[in-house]
Chains A and B, each alone.
Chain A
Amino acid sequence: MRQRSGLAGRAATQAPWRWCWLVLLTLSAGTAAQPSRDGAASRPVRSDTQWLQAIQAAAQRVNFTGTVVYQQGGSMRSSRIVHLWDGRSSHERLQMLDGKAREFIRKDVEVQCLFPEARRVLVERGLPGESFPSIGGGAPREILENYSLKLGSIERVAGVDCQVLLLEPRDALRYGHRLCVEPASSLLLRAETLDLRQEPIDQMAFTDVRINDRIDRALLRPSWSTEGWRVERSDHRPADLARLGWSISPPAGFRVLRQVERRGAEAARAVYQSVLSDGLATLSVFIDFNDSAQTGGADLAHQHGALSGYSRRVGSALVTVVGEVPPATAKAVAHGVTVTSSPAALPAAGPASAPLR
């Protein structure tokens, strides 16, 4: 049933398959693309950059269906995923299998989040490669400046042989990652985040997967008709924190990706968010003028799986760092946030009566 190489069956009729051919031909540099049963004999020869590019491309352009299990700290969730590349766009439907009923319908970068009990659709715009099985859209060169890539053994995930890739951090500011990639399609089948002692603290993996099967478009439609549901859009817009007198010092290897202003329905004042990335790991710095006194003066530290947070008061704002980084990194970033005494840093109460939602 499972077709792993792209060399058989219905390939000729589907655009994605042609694309797979290209990837295989260019990236495998002449090695046999057909995976053999013993696995090790058929490792594609790829440079580090090519491996990362292949994983990123596969998440967008390979057809697959499967069940994904996500484990963070002690909690576990599973979901059903269907992904179709139609030759131009990437389509995905993600159904949560436990907890409240939720579905996420994605076309390229636009994601509709469906909340059936509230009859509500939240529309967000992300970036390509937003979620598993992607590793994000960071430039391979940037990733490799902060992590070294090593090939590991061949393992099996969801009944499929896959190549282990280790992304080892070059310093203690970030976590390492252990990936397992199906060699023929380059689809990521498992990703683990490793703490500084190399112990897994987070993982996401397929428990069953079918790669390169034909995808019935009906599988991409949501379970519910959303007619009459309230549609909301995400409420952020660009902001310039430096102009407001705020300074954030990115840790080595990180850079500021974007800065936005958010204004929730209940919040009287805007919350500013600055997003930092090292190509793979990301963290957000929130500067919140609402209820900044609630920490009682103490710094707050929190951790759940690979997610770390650190809050402290700076001026009249609560500064909170959230990201998939070691706790010490979150703390260092939080302590690197400074504000000048510029009056612009203390925005007046916003038009609370006109929330942007």
Chain B
Amino acid sequence: MSAAGAPAAPTPDDRGERWSCLMDGEADADQIKACLDDWRASEGARAEWGLWHAAGDALRSSEVASWHAEGFTARLSLALAAEPAIVAPRRRGLRVVRRVVLPGAAVAAAAAMLTVAVLPVLRGADDGVQMVQSKKLSPAPMVATDATLVRVERLPQMDQYIAAHREMAGSLGLPRTSPYLRTTTALPER
């Protein structure tokens, strides 16, 4: 691929090829710059970039794919912009960001104990893999109408449910031990 010096609006095919190179670590400096410029300039490019990753993640695992959420990057940008540039973030502000950042962070670090993916009841699809993979084959509907494949949210009382489950049911399950869960979830600290 010739180094595209002119930032002429790339066709989708150009774009795909460039991104493929970028994601595979084969892009040279000019190609990377072209990708970034394109990404910065074009809403469509950003949506497509998200789609590419959603598709890749779907192929890897349903759990990873389930973290993709509509407008995630947009909300992240907003939250970051709203965040004061201080070294020690305020508690309240942190929570806002955490809620938005959680999807990515949880995939990478899996530090969060339990988060909730809201699956719109889509054609009885049981499995996020199928759901997202089918979108990969026909990307347009996902970007347009069905982009809210998965909403990420946390059911506030889930920790208490889990603790209650451990207490009443742990006795018959395999090693579940309420104790282990309580370190991160648990009882309201009063």
Residues on B with beta carbons closer than 8 Å to the beta carbon of A120: 190
Chain A interface bracket (under 10, 10 to 19, 20 to 34, 35 or more):
35 or more
- B99-134: CB near A (< 8 Å → 1, else 0) gives 000000010011101111111110000100000000
B182-A302 in contact (CB<8A): no
A284 in complex: contacting residue of B114, B116, B164, CB < 8 Å:
B164
Compute how far the CA of A90 lies from the CA of B183 in the bound complex, rounded to whole angstroms.
23
Does B184 interact with chain A (Cβ within 8 Å)? yes
With A137-B171, A288-B157 in contact, do A99 and B176 touch (Cβ < 8 Å)? no
List the B side residues contacting A273 at CB < 8 Å.
164-165, 168
Contact A307 B162 (CB under 8 A): yes
Question: For residues 180 through 212 of chain A, which have their beta carbon under 8 Å from a beta carbon of chain B?
Answer: 188, 191, 193, 204
CB-CB contacts of B178-190 with A at 8 A, as 1s and 0s? 1110111001111
Residues B121 and A130 in contact, CB atoms below 8 Å apart: no
Residue of B nearest to A59 (CB): B175
Q: Does A324 sit at the interface, judged by CB under 8 A?
A: yes
- Tell me if B14 is interfacial: C-beta within 8 Å of chain A: no
Given A126-B171, A129-B171, A131-B170, is A282 in contact with B165 using a C-beta cutoff of 8 Å?
yes
Q: A65-99: which have CB < 8 Å to B?
A: 70, 72-75, 77, 79, 94, 96, 98-99
Expressed in whole angstroms, the Cα–Cα distance for A283 and B176 within the complex equals 12
**Which chain A residues border B5 with CB–CB below 8 Å?**
none
Report which residue of B157, B173, B180, B188 has the largest number of chain A beta carbons within 10 angstroms of its beta carbon: B173
One of A5-13, A41-49, A261-269, A336-344 at the interface? A261-269
Q: How far is the CB of A59 from chain B (nearest CB, A)?
A: 9
A120 to B155, CA, bound (A): 26
Of A24-32, A221-229, A293-301, the segment with at least 4 beta carbons within 8 Å of chain B is: A293-301
Measured in the bound complex, the distance between the Cα atoms of B38 and A227 in whole Å is 66
Q: Is A127 an interface residue (CB 8 A)?
A: yes
The minimal Cβ–Cβ distance linking B10 to chain A, given in whole angstroms, is 37
Contact indicator B173/A260 (Cβ below 8 Å): no
Residues of B within 8 A of A204 (CB): 175, 177
Contact of B158 (CB < 8 Å), options: A132, A138, A281, A309? A309
B138-162: contact bitstring with A at CB < 8 Å (1 yes, 0 no)? 0000000000000101011110111
| Distance A187 CA – B169 CA, assembled complex (angstroms) | 22
A100 interface hit (Cβ, 8 Å): yes
Residues of A within 8 A of B120 (CB): 298
Listed by A's residue number, 24 A-B pairs whose Cβ atoms lie within 8 Å are A75-B184, A100-B183, A102-B179, A104-B179, A128-B171, A131-B176, A131-B179, A132-B174, A132-B175, A188-B175, A265-B188, A277-B169, A277-B172, A277-B173, A284-B169, A298-B120, A300-B116, A300-B118, A302-B115, A303-B63, A307-B114, A320-B161, A323-B169, A328-B126
- B interface vs A, CB < 8 Å? 63, 106, 109-111, 113-121, 126, 151, 153, 155-158, 160-162, 164-165, 167-180, 182-184, 187-190
18 additional contacts, CB 8 Å, given A126-B171, A265-B188, A323-B169?
A75-B111, A99-B183, A100-B183, A102-B183, A124-B167, A124-B178, A128-B171, A137-B172, A191-B174, A191-B175, A257-B172, A265-B190, A277-B173, A280-B172, A282-B173, A284-B161, A295-B155, A322-B162
